[in-house]
Amino acid sequence: MKKRLAYIVLISSLWLSTGHADESPPQFALSPLPYEKNALEPYISETTLSFHYGKHHQGYVDTLNKLIDEKGLKGSLEEIIMKSSRNPELKTVFNNAAQDWNHTFYWSSMKPGGGGNPTGPLLDLITKTFGSYDDFKKEFIETGTKLFGSGWVWLVKDKDNSLKIIGTNNADLPLIHGQKPLLVCDIWEHAYYLDYQNRRKDYVEVFLDHLVNWDFASQNL
Ligand SMILES: [Fe+2]
């Protein structure tokens, strides 16, 4: 009986020493990629997508989970983004939460066989706002090319329901400015440097011509 008790104590202490007793599941999980890692080739290579999704996006999720665990923060990803955006002391939480959100939105903003012109009400709105799809394309590429440093280029629906192309720096996102995002292109170098090096303009052009998921943008309208 004593031997059995000693065995139970030993197993319990081993379990505790490996940290199992304190571990709770992370609040946020990496969102599934909506396609295979080689599905966007030849425009975005499997190597780029593997690093971008598996290392960069995963890294933001892991850091976010660690930070909110340390700070005892709870809530949906959007709630944590809104809360941390108003508090300079939570800047690192905001950066990682927003980067998680932005990347999930970016993966859905592309699809294999995507690109080309939108259709239906979205095309009508784009034409009404920018003059033509080609004018929209020109402004989107220019915004992406001229954005200083790292960031994102978005097509958004503004508070007055008009469409706008905006560039945001670092992790900044339309959500905290009361704008509704329709689609986004990642302008951080990790998104394109292995495939396009310094040719950011080519990458943004390819994003619109061959990758953009207009069905997703229409659903967000
Ligand atoms: Fe990225």
CATH architecture entry for 120-220: 3-Layer(bab) Sandwich (3.55)
Mean pLDDT across 27-32: 96
52 CA distance to ligand 1 centroid (A)?
Answer: 6
87 CA distance to ligand 1 centroid (A)?
Answer: 24
Q: What is the pLDDT of residue 23?
A: 63
Judge contact between 153 and 167, C-beta under 8 A.
yes
188 CA distance to ligand 1 centroid (A)?
Answer: 6
Give the tens place of pLDDT for each residue, 101-125.
999 999 999 999 999 999 999 999 9
d(C-alpha 98, C-alpha 166), whole Å:
16
11 CA distance to ligand 1 centroid (A)?
Answer: 43
User: What's the pLDDT band for 144 if we cut at 50, 70, 90?
Assistant: very high
User: What's the pLDDT band for 161 if we cut at 50, 70, 90?
Assistant: confident
171 CA distance to ligand 1 centroid (A)?
Answer: 10
185 CA distance to ligand 1 centroid (A)?
Answer: 9
User: What's the pLDDT band for 2 if we cut at 50, 70, 90?
Assistant: very low
Q: What is the pLDDT of residue 22?
A: 52
User: What's the pLDDT band for 24 if we cut at 50, 70, 90?
Assistant: confident
108 CA distance to ligand 1 centroid (A)?
Answer: 13
**Residue 162: is its pLDDT beyond 80?**
yes
- Cα separation values, 212 from 73, 109, 110, 132, 204, Å: 35, 6, 4, 17, 10
Mean pLDDT across 55-59: 98
**Residue 179: is its pLDDT beyond 70?**
yes
**Residue 204: is its pLDDT beyond 50?**
yes
Cα 163–chain centre separation: 21
Task: Give domain limits for the chain.
Answer: 120-220
Q: What is the pLDDT of residue 148?
A: 95
**Residue 12: is its pLDDT beyond 60?**
no
The predicted model scores a pTM of: 0.88
Judge contact between 144 and 200, C-beta under 8 A.
yes
Both structure tokens of 37:
């890692």
10 CA distance to ligand 1 centroid (A)?
Answer: 46
